[in-house]
Amino acid sequence: MRRIGVFVCHCGINIAQNVDVKTLTEYASHLNGVVVAKEYKYMCSDVGATLIKDTIKEFKLDGIVIASCSPRMHEHTFRRVANDGGVNPYRVEISNIREQCSWAHSDKQKATEKAKYLVRSAVSKALSLEPLKPSTLKVIPEALIIGGGIAGIQASLDLANDGFKVHLVERDPSIGGHMAQLDKTFPTLDCSSCILTPKMMEVANHENIELLSYAEIVSIEGSIGNYTVKIRKKPRYVDVDKCTGCGDCATNCRLKDRITSEFNQGMGKRGAAYMPFPQAVPLKYVIDDKKCLFLTKGKCGDEPLCKKACAQNAICFDQKEEIIERKVGAIIVATGYDVMDPAVVYEYGYDQSPDVITTLELERLISSSGPTKGEILRPSNQQKPKSVTFILCVGSRDETQCSWCCRIGCMTALKQVYLLREKLGEDVEINVCYNDLRSFGKGYEEFYRKVRGLHTNMFRGRPSEVRPMTDHLKIDIFDTTTNKLFEIKTDMVVLVPAMMPRKDAAEFARLLHLTLSGDGFFLEAHPKLRPVDTFVNGIFIAGCCQAPKDIQDTVSQASAAASRATTILSQEELEIDPLIAMVDEDVCTGCGICIEVCPYEARTLNERKRIAEVNNALCAGCGSCIAACPSNASIHKNFTKKQLLNMVDDIM
């Protein structure tokens, strides 16, 4: 005869105000198989845990039911408590009477009735729960970091310094990401390169870091502690072992200064043989196979001039792409963000005038390594502008584009106002059209005050449009601080565009089985308590791939993700959750349907026995094979058909 104990939690008043916990406990105590039922204000507290453990001993319980919040919150807690008390942790059943009952209903009497049903069915499940034992898996003490922006760099360095081998995969020819494009950073005005370049160099030289630049993820298989990753290394057409970064190939390229430079946001030009920027890591040249004459047309004059010029003989046109494989125990995704194309807000003139630019483009103009060597010149005539106007929230906080706040736009604009004032002097008019000004970080508000003191014309409102006139740009802005319409004539307009998920974020999420939030960024496991975890164990997220954020928050999050990865990598073995699929060998016909439906590739066919088998390390317990199996041979441990039907019977 089984001995079940039921523990009803008040959750403060979260449950107690809408469910009569005393009545419920009393009811539970009479259920078949139940030898004791108790209630307590906070079952998840230390006192609650002690109460459960003591009751287990006193009543010699062999299974428990906790009527409380969602199992997503505290199932783990109560399993541990059960284990400490001497009950097999898989003989714990959670009855969710908070999210699915007290929070959902307002009629206390009816909610209490519903809670009774829920607890009754949980007891019936508890009666048939099997004691399970987790198996173990050897952890590969290496990490994969996807994305070489500041988030990926920080996470790589943290893990490498902790002694773990790191494989850093970057899609572009150089690491550095968006931060490498910035001139100075708010609010301290640190030079972006000065603080980023040393970290990039450290990545390049760290014995524990394998830098795979110009490479992309092809596939990821396996599970926490043991992932197999396939990586495509794109051909650079330059032998990186020979290239010294001298630049003779780029100087001699026939297309020199004829291709739009991505790094300079279209404000400058490069050749087909190029280095993205002077501080690139690795400091190796690359040949653009979409533009290079030899690679696209098979002919570059009499011979490719880069090849002729390279004293090291490093140019290597027959390089092919290569697929390599790495095995890792944990993965950090730090793939960053895209800047919204401001041309989608056509009326702001980005497509109509060269003098309408974005903050990132202005960043390149301000930068001494940029196309104008740091001089602020109006793109249409290369003259110093007499008036510059910023428009904030372009596409941000906009239900027709991106409903979210970009979190960096206000401060970026303020920083640029400061730098423009420094570079252009007092006689230049600077206008800022803002909706709300958000300066929330440490030192931000102080910086905002400083910028207000620089004769900045702050207009509170959103312009409807930017009109390109013959020799200037015209903006009508209704300023809600003065209740007046101002007609601004300006030479340059700087748009602060929204930050968006990478355009291939959804595709990438499918590759990793990650979830997206409504806005298209990667979803964290819990917004407050598990901010860098994902719903896939062993995969963490950091930086702007999760949501827009500034450098400060990105770096903090990257270190957090590295630290979370360490909790896995530092263990030799991991317990594998036993709540996974198994096969009833007597029933299985070896039809193979489960192999096709399994999204985790955890199913294989045993040719000799003619049955399908489950790889315990790979199975995530998703249940796809259970639903698909035509002969009921696939069984989910402790979610068997019989167990579930018993629960249903008790509710009906």
Partner 1 sequence: MSIIDLTSMGEPQSELRKELNDRLTKLQDEISDYCFQCARCTSGCEAHKLLELEPHKIVALLKRGLLNELINADVIWTCMTCQKCRERCPQRVAPIEILFALKNIAVANGKQIPGKYTAMLQSILTMGLIQDVQQTTTRTNTTVKRDDLGLPPLSKPVDAAKFQAGIMKIAMEKV
Partner 2 sequence: MKKRYALFPGCLMPTEQYAYELSLRETLPLLGVELVDVEGFSCCGEPMKSVNQLLTLYLSARNLAIAQKHHLDIYVPCAMCHLALTECQHILEKNPAMKERINGMLAAEELTYTEKTHLVHTVDLLHDVIGIQTIKEHVKKPLHGLKIAAHYGCHILRPKEIGRPDDSENPQKIETILKALGAEPVNYPQKLDCCGAPLLANLPESALTKTGQKLQAIQEQQIQGLVDVCPWCHKMFDSRQTKAGETVAVKLDVPVVYLTQLLGIAFGIPPEKLGLELNLSPVEKLQQEAKP
Interface residues with partner 2 (CB under 8 A) are 346-347, 351, 467-469, 474
- DSSP string across 162-177: TT-EEEEE-SSSSS-G
Q: Are 125 and 93 a contacting pair, CB within 8 Å?
A: yes
CA 281 to chain centre: 23
In the complex with partner 1, the residue whose CB is nearer, 303 or 436, is 436
Residue 435 interacts with, from partner 1, partner 2, none (CB under 5-8 Å by kind)? partner 1
Question: Quick one: what does residue 469 bind among partner 2, partner 1, none, with the CB cut-off 5 to 8 Å set by partner type?
Answer: partner 2
CB of 238 to partner 1, least distance (A): 46
* Options 108, 462, 474, 513; binder of partner 1; rule CB under 8 A: 462
Per-residue contact flags (x/-) with partner 1 for residues 378 to 417, judged by CB under 8 A: ---------------x---xxxxx----------------
User: What are the tokens at 198?
Assistant: 């040393």
Q: Which of partner 2, partner 1, none interacts with 346 (beta carbon under 5 to 8 A by kind)?
A: partner 2
The smaller minimum CB distance to partner 2, of residues 33 and 468, is found at 468
Radius of gyration of the chain (CA): 30
601 contact, one of partner 2, partner 1, none, CB 5-8 Å limit per kind: none
Q: Which of residues 489-548 bind partner 1 (CB under 8 A)?
A: none
Name residues contacting partner 1, limited to 194-253 (CB under 8 A). Answer: none
> What minimum distance in Å lies between the beta carbon of 53 and partner 1?
51
Token representation of residue 109: 């009497």
From partner 1, partner 2, none, interface partner of 462 (C-beta below 5 to 8 A by class): partner 1
| Helix, strand, coil tally for the chain in percent (to 5) | 30, 25, 45
Nearest to 592 by CA among 603, 608, 580: 603
Between 139 and 391, whose beta carbon lies closer to partner 1? Answer: 391
The residues in 478-497 that bind partner 1, with binding defined as CB under 8 A, are 478, 480, 483, 485
**DSSP character string of 93-151:** EEEE-IIIIITT---HHHHHHHHHHHHHHHHHHHHHPPP---EEEEPP-EEEEE--SHH
- Cα separation, 65 vs 124, in Å, equals 10
Helices marked H in 164-219: 192-205
CB-nearer residue toward partner 2: 346 or 440: 346
For residue 524, what is the DSSP state?
P
Give the binding-site size for partner 1 (rule: CB under 8 A). Answer: 20
Among 477, 495, 544, 614, binds partner 1 (CB under 8 A): 477
466 or 496: CB nearest partner 2: 466
Q: Residue 470 or residue 483: which is nearer to partner 2 going by CB?
A: 470
The distance of closest approach from Cβ of residue 469 to partner 2 in the complex, given in angstroms and rounded to an integer, is 6
Nearest CB to partner 2, comparing residues 476 and 577: 476
Provide the minimum distance between the beta carbon of 346 and partner 2 in the complex, in angstroms, as a whole number: 4
User: Are β-strands 429-434 and 456-460 bridged in parallel, bridged antiparallel, or unpaired?
Assistant: parallel
Chain position carrying tokens 């510059």: 388
Report the b/e string of 157-169 with b at 16+ CB within 10 A: bbbbebebbbbbb
Complex with partner 1: residue 401 or 566, whichever CB lies closer: 401
Secondary element (H or E) of residue 323: strand 322-328
Query: Which of the residues 341 through 380 are near partner 1 (CB under 8 A)?
Result: 347
CB of 376 to partner 1, least distance (A): 26
- The position carrying tokens 């039922």 is 37
Which residues, in sequence order, are bridge partners of residue 40? Answer: 9
> Which residues of the shown chain bind partner 1 in the complex (CB under 8 A)?
347, 393, 397-401, 435-436, 461-465, 476-478, 480, 483, 485
